[in-house]
Amino acid sequence: MLKRTFCTSIAALLLTGAAYAQDQSIIVQSTTSTANSGLYDYLLPMFEQESGIQVNVVAVGTGQSINNAENCDGDLLLVHARPAEEAFVEAGYGTERTDLMYNDFVIVGPSEDPAGVSGMSDAQDALSQIAGSGATFASRGDDSGTHKKEMSLWAGADADPTSGSGNWYRETGSGMGATLNAGIGMGAYVMTDRATWISFGNKQDYEILVEGDEDLFNQYGVIPVSPEHCPSVNIDGAQAFADWLLSAEGQEAIGAYEVEGQQLFFPNAPKS
């Protein structure tokens, strides 16, 4: 009897310890730009020290992040494709979407600029000119937030780049860093978020050629995964991280992050 009671007590302690460990960690399904830029390396130690909650980041394209969260493979979503984010919440997968921060997209290309788009500030006109010139364009082609934005710009330009797939239009099916590497290797134009470009280490002779269009605005949102859809979600931990990111402290930390003297993200959470 004593041995059975002792074993039962040990088992209870182990289960309690496992539950406690789970409560002290969360999984964030995230866009790649926030990871590639080094933002999480900068922010997470602050939050983890203050809260005791460990944050594990899965950095993939926005489309894959949303799919993962829908499958209950995460506690919090941090991505940048607002229509898809709002649909995620409306379908009951997330509790609430909140603006977190923003930056912008840019089109980069080789210094020789074969399509002659350097200095243009209308992204749709620049894409039309690239397509018309037959110059190579490398696309992520992966349903990421960047890819979604790119395709909306092509649609606005009344052009279907996929008709040139495998010819002048190359779809990498990869993340932003890998697409930039591939694009530079083939002398192609690439649309990228500015934070990834600033942090990117293999620029060679490439430079920003098209920027400043309001259509290149890049908004990020944060969404806790709904416990009604995913009963196993760590909603307390997810909400704690979301609240910290949206707080004055978190917003100040986001705004203070720089690479090579340049601010990468601009906080714009609603004022409480």
Q: Is the pLDDT of residue 4 over 60?
A: no
- 97 plus 154 within the same structural domain: no
Q: Does the pTM of the predicted model rise above 0.75? A: yes
Average pLDDT of the residues in 105-113: 98
Q: Is the pLDDT of residue 212 over 70?
A: yes
Task: Enter the tokens of residue 111.
Answer: 């210094």
The per-residue pLDDT for range 117-166, each reduced to its tens digit, is 999 999 999 999 999 999 999 999 999 999 999 999 999 998 899 999 99
Number of domain units in the chain: 2
- 40 plus 27 within the same structural domain: yes
The per-residue pLDDT for range 28-60, each reduced to its tens digit, is 999 999 998 999 999 999 999 999 999 999 999
Handedness of CA 212, 30, 261, 113 (dihedral sign): negative
Tell whether 272 is covered by a domain: no
- 61 plus 128 within the same structural domain: no
Residue ranges with strand state E in 133-264: 137-139, 169-171, 189-193, 206-210, 217-224, 258-259, 262-263
Name the percent of the chain lying above pLDDT 70: 91
Residues 104, 197 contacting (CB under 8 angstroms):
no
Q: Is the pLDDT of residue 17 over 90?
A: no
Distance between CA atoms of residues 97 and 225, nearest Å: 10
Task: Enter the tokens of residue 224.
Answer: 């806790």
Nearest by Cα to 26 from 224, 231, 247:
224
Which residues constitute the domain of residue 56? 2-102+219-267
Q: What does the pLDDT read at residue 23?
A: 65
Other C-beta atoms within 10 Å of 56: how many? Answer: 11
Q: What does the pLDDT read at residue 13?
A: 33
Tell whether 202 is covered by a domain: yes
CATH code for position 138: 3.40.190.10
Distance between CA atoms of residues 117 and 123, nearest Å: 9
- 91 plus 130 within the same structural domain: no
pLDDT band at 5 (very low <50, low <70, confident <90, very high): very low
Q: What does the pLDDT read at residue 159?
A: 87
Sequence-distant (6+) residues with CB within 8 A of 238 are 26, 75, 76, 224, 225
- 136 plus 205 within the same structural domain: yes
Nearest by Cα to 142 from 62, 78, 79, 219:
62
- 113 plus 171 within the same structural domain: yes
- 98 plus 108 within the same structural domain: no
Q: What does the pLDDT read at residue 2?
A: 38
Task: Enter the tokens of residue 2.
Answer: 């004593």
Task: Enter the tokens of residue 230.
Answer: 């995913």
- 108 plus 191 within the same structural domain: yes
- 17 plus 48 within the same structural domain: yes
- 107 plus 93 within the same structural domain: no
Dihedral over alpha carbons 234, 240, 245, 251 (to 10 degrees)? 180
